[in-house]
Amino acid sequence: MSDDAILILGDEQYRFPVREGTEGERAIDIQDLRARTGYVTLDPGYANTGSCRSAITFIDGEQGILRYRGIPIEQFEREPNFVEAAWLLIFGHLPNPEEYKTFSENLTACANLDESMKHHFEGFPRSAPPMAILSAMINALSCFHPEYFELEDKDHFRCAAAGLISKIRTIAAYAYRHSIGQPYIYPNPALRYVPNFLHMMFSQPYAEHECDPIVRDAINLVLLLHADHEQNCSTSTVRMVGSSQANLFASCAAGVCALWGPLHGGANVAVLQMLEQIHQGRISPEEYVRLAKDRDSKVRLMGFGHRVYKNFDPRARMLGKVAERLLPTLGVRDPLLDIARRLEEIALEDPYFVDRQLYPNVDFYSGIIMRAVGIPTNMFTVMFAIGRLPGWIAHWWEQSQTQGSKIARPRQLYVGPGFTDHVPKDERM
Ligand code: SDX
């Protein structure tokens, strides 16, 4: 029995090959559908459309499985190391000691920004959204590194990747320092990735921020759990932009913009706003859930639901545990965590959410962790972007190395007016 898919259109039958992935997922290959049938498919939101073959991340939404290059994310929990996970996603294997040492040294060496980039920050109002600054400054960064416009080989790409992964911290920290009118704090080459970022965020010229190892591990895990998620909106955006052979920086700057949306990475800010609203007593958890179930209310239970996960988002489980461990260790008592747990409890017993397979996603607990270490709410999605950057870079590079890779150009179903003549201005009503 052939594995082909058969499409019957009128009196004609068309066979299309079925492709199978590593984990047995199957796809109907319709690359020549229009050429053979004159038809295109229609799939708003691409919920049923595979855009590419990828070897980077595997998700099983029904089972709640997430693996980076085959490694279940739960196995990173014991010794979370974001830099190691970044290498794994980008280069396809866990770094050996020499690779890790060289990559880490690269990150340290290129943490600084060109001094004249600081004037760009001055041009933004203090109230500027950090995601707007981040996207703008990633593009601006490319102007100071024209050597990264054309990445001829893997070594050149490795330098560009290290430069971007390192400097995104500095850009993020400088955006924060500008927003609070504080001096920029230069990166400290003696510090590792996360402690150096927190140093640039929270040190003062006269007082060095001390990074608690508990916080270091928690933020490493937060960034690691955000590092990739296959063809999500922002990663697909990076691939779309990169498919025109736009450079790595322009592609990742576009990814920042896509991530900003409240239905995507911006949800971690929306979750905190939702929890604050309930905490201030303006609405009860029960009332909020009722509103979220009412389609006319336009209210959603932020941090809940997912296009792919129809089971618990494994990242939400892990982040929920981090929050439960971290806050008491830091002596932080955050009522928002209790409210989040209450919302989860109500929703998971409510047929509306159960029937629609709506569970907490990565954004539901992440903000509570970041808030506990002093990261302000308006920087939460920036933290998501810092975490997701290695995934964006990995997908951009995978696509650029794929033989026969084409510019992304979807089709449409035109539903506008038929042939219409132009009407001269003096004849218009
Ligand atoms: C991320 O794609 C990724 O991998 C993303 C991400 C990553 O790592 O890159 O995982 C990160 O973006 C996580 C999602 C963050 N967003 C939110 O938390 C916002 C709240 N969630 C929703 O807006 C929604 O669940 C989405 C956007 C996440 C998914 O939307 P879908 O797949 O398009 O589902 P849908 O909007 O068609 O909803 C199906 C039904 C609808 O009801 P009915 O039409 O059947 O009556 O479920 C309802 C929706 O109204 N629904 C919700 C809901 N999410 C879906 N109802 C209330 N609250 C919600 N949160």
**234-268 residue pLDDT tens:** 999 999 999 999 999 999 999 999 999 999 999 99
Q: Would residue 348 count as lying in a domain?
A: yes
Verify that 283 and 389 share a domain, yes or no.
no
In short, whether 130's Cβ falls inside 6 Å of ligand 1 is: no
Given 306, 313, 350, 395, which residue is catalytic?
306
Q: Which atom of ligand 1 is nearest to the CA of 228?
A: 8
* Whole-number pLDDT of residue 2: 61
What's the domain range around 283? Answer: 266-373
In short, whether 225's Cβ falls inside 6 Å of ligand 1 is: no
Q: What is the mean pLDDT of the chain?
A: 96
Q: For the domain that residue 331 is a member of, what is the CATH number?
A: 1.10.230.10
pLDDT band at 163 (very low <50, low <70, confident <90, very high): very high
Asked if residues 235 and 255 have their Cβ atoms less than 8 Å apart, the reply is yes
Q: For the domain that residue 24 is a member of, what is the CATH number?
A: 2.20.28
Q: Is the pTM of this model over 0.75?
A: yes
**283-318 residue pLDDT tens:** 999 999 999 999 999 999 999 999 999 999 999 999
**37-47 residue pLDDT tens:** 999 999 999 99
Verify that 257 and 271 share a domain, yes or no.
no
Verify that 128 and 241 share a domain, yes or no.
yes
Verify that 297 and 387 share a domain, yes or no.
no
Verify that 107 and 256 share a domain, yes or no.
yes
Among the listed residues 299, 246, 313, 382, the one whose alpha carbon sits nearest the alpha carbon of residue 60: 313
- Mean pLDDT across 197-204: 98
**Percentage of residues in the chain with pLDDT exceeding 70?**
100
Verify that 111 and 235 share a domain, yes or no.
yes
Verify that 8 and 82 share a domain, yes or no.
no
pLDDT for residue 149 is more than 90: no
Verify that 184 and 279 share a domain, yes or no.
no
Verify that 178 and 234 share a domain, yes or no.
yes
Verify that 219 and 346 share a domain, yes or no.
no
Among the listed residues 54, 363, 71, the one whose alpha carbon sits nearest the alpha carbon of residue 226: 363
Among the listed residues 267, 247, 249, 251, the one whose alpha carbon sits nearest the alpha carbon of residue 259: 267
In short, whether 395's Cβ falls inside 6 Å of ligand 1 is: no
Verify that 9 and 89 share a domain, yes or no.
no
* Whole-number pLDDT of residue 282: 86
pLDDT band at 372 (very low <50, low <70, confident <90, very high): very high
Between the CA of 359 and the centroid of ligand 1 the distance, in Å, is: 10
Domain total for the chain? 3
Q: Would residue 260 count as lying in a domain?
A: yes
